[in-house]
Structure 1
Amino acid sequence: VQNLLNCVIFGSTLCSGRVEIFYNNSWGTVCDDDWGIMDAQVVCRELGCGTAIEATSRAYFGAGNNDIWLDDVSCSGNESSLTDCPHSGFGIHNCNHGEDAGVAQDRAHSLFFPDLIFTIGSTLCSGRVEVFYNNSWGTVCDDGWDITDAEVVCRELQGCGTAIEATSSANFGAGNNNIWLDDVSCSGNESSLTDCPHSGFGIHNCNHGEDAGVICADGARIKLVGLTLCSGRVEVFYNNSWGTVCDDGWDITDAEVVCRELGCGTAIEATSRAYFGAGNNDIWLDDVSCSGNESSLTDCPHRGFGIHNCDHGEDAGVNCTGETNF
């Protein structure tokens, strides 16, 4: 789950939940046929979550609603990734989502949280907010959603730092299950989002186009502003604010670093001349010249933060192959 490219869990903590893998540009579940502790052990190790406590079955952590990608998984326990284990073949199965597999894992307890997880976003600490209630995950409406509410979320997620931004209008994609919370109004001192005043579980006047999200300080240094999570104007977080990237020298190699950093697959296009609209804050980077091997755009050579000879009509962007569904 560190790079969000191959495997992720959807559940009640960062290290316990339904197992999903990324294949053919979408997330899908794993069938519990023959699912055992050795399989769970590979997942735990892959996610950096310690050792496996339990391999769960029968959609213990809730049923998925996308593809079922793996069935008859049979790990030896030494594999570095779940997808390296023998299985029936991607998409080949005789299951339904009532058989979705999961894991319970033993990790530093500070990373556990009882009611909250991000299911859409570029990192574990940035994404659409979902809460677990009545045995299912659901979203939070953005009515009244602000930085104080986001601060409670970031603190609850421990290890995610402080809140940078409270996002609205399904910035991280629209959910497709229940909308559990609306009119959330945190004071900022709550230990959990569900402790904040709200309209009541399931009581709302919203649609999923109003799903709320957060960006926490330790969760994001780059984002795309545009049509989808994987296509848009590139913005970088520096000196406590978001700013754009100038298109001087901007090319497909630079775009490739961005797409990989965001878990959005490979780069299709490096856009220029504010193709995705002009920003209105600082211009943080100019003359970016990536080799293509960097793990983050800010690791690439550039003129220095805030040093540029551009205007927002030159804002750079990217089109990536992926549609993230984390």
Structure 2
Amino acid sequence: MFFLSCQADLGNSTSDEASSVRLVDGSSSCSGRVQVLHNGIWGTVCYNGWDLLDANVVCSELGCGEAKEVKLAEYFGKSSGQIWMDNVNCSGNESALSKCEYHELELNDCNHSEDAGVICHLSITIIFLFFIPWLVEGFDDCSGRVEVLHNGKWGTVCDYKWDGSDGAVVCKEMGCGNIKVLTYGAYFGATSGQIWMGNVNCNGEEASLSTCAIQGWGTHNCFFAEHAGVICGLPVRLVNGNSFCSGRVEVLHDGQWGTVSDDGWNLTDAAVVCRELGCGDVITAKGGAYFGQGSGPVWMNSVDCVGKESSLIQCNIAHWQHNNLDHLHDAGVICSGEIFFDISTGYWWKNF
């Protein structure tokens, strides 16, 4: 297929079109799905080739500092209308996204499940004017070492007496669903510096970790590398395998777990699952209900991942729930990692 790279000025600004780019459906004006103005109509940007260099140009253009991270697919929700730009390729020095190279509209093959997004550093600054926990060095945005901002300084949470009620409040406050696993020690890496919270005692109903009872700010019973962490509920899980990192693939949709059909299921699709779960590389993709037949709906059919997705639910599929499929064709995966959980101690460990 032949592509033409352009450097056109999208949305030649008039007095009532002061900016040709904006971020929508984020937590602030400095995070969200990228939209550009062209011919008086707002449209999105396809995530093919979308990276930090491209995102940096957007953040700079909007006065939002540097890009913290790029977001792909439907992270900020699915849009509608035009898709104006595809295969954006910025050097990082452009003054506006419209100055970057990109593919012409007529040549893009995207849909709105592939809308590009960005979170700029300034959006984080704005959010953290209020107390909020942050998860660091995890598998994704919903796992990691718990850190909190207090008096303008980041610090950790002591893992002494860290329990499910405490973790549940963090997951809920972060918008990450239910608590799945508590972690202790240096599971998500050790860090020096301030330990802000100790003897955290939530009842699980609090809206914020900041409202839970604590020993006192900066008062704790912990030493170096005794950090509280969480892994919050993910929309994907592996069932009936030898460990957390192998099994039948199940996805959460409309509040119900269901399976994935092995129609078209391949190593590229399976690799996305392994990466999403923090389970290393894919060893093999399994079909034919290798890990046993599931129950409930078959949610995903003809999965087609490109391999760069951060979650299986961002991959293209034929449609959600195929009523003509049975569980004889449930897909599975074996990843290179092995993650184990000792329910009696709450400790996790993994082998790669």
- Superposition TM-score, scaled by structure 2 size: 0.44
Query: Comparing both chains, which one has the higher relative contact order based on Cα–Cα distances under 8 Å and sequence gaps of 6 or more?
Result: 1
- Superposition TM-score, scaled by structure 1 size: 0.47
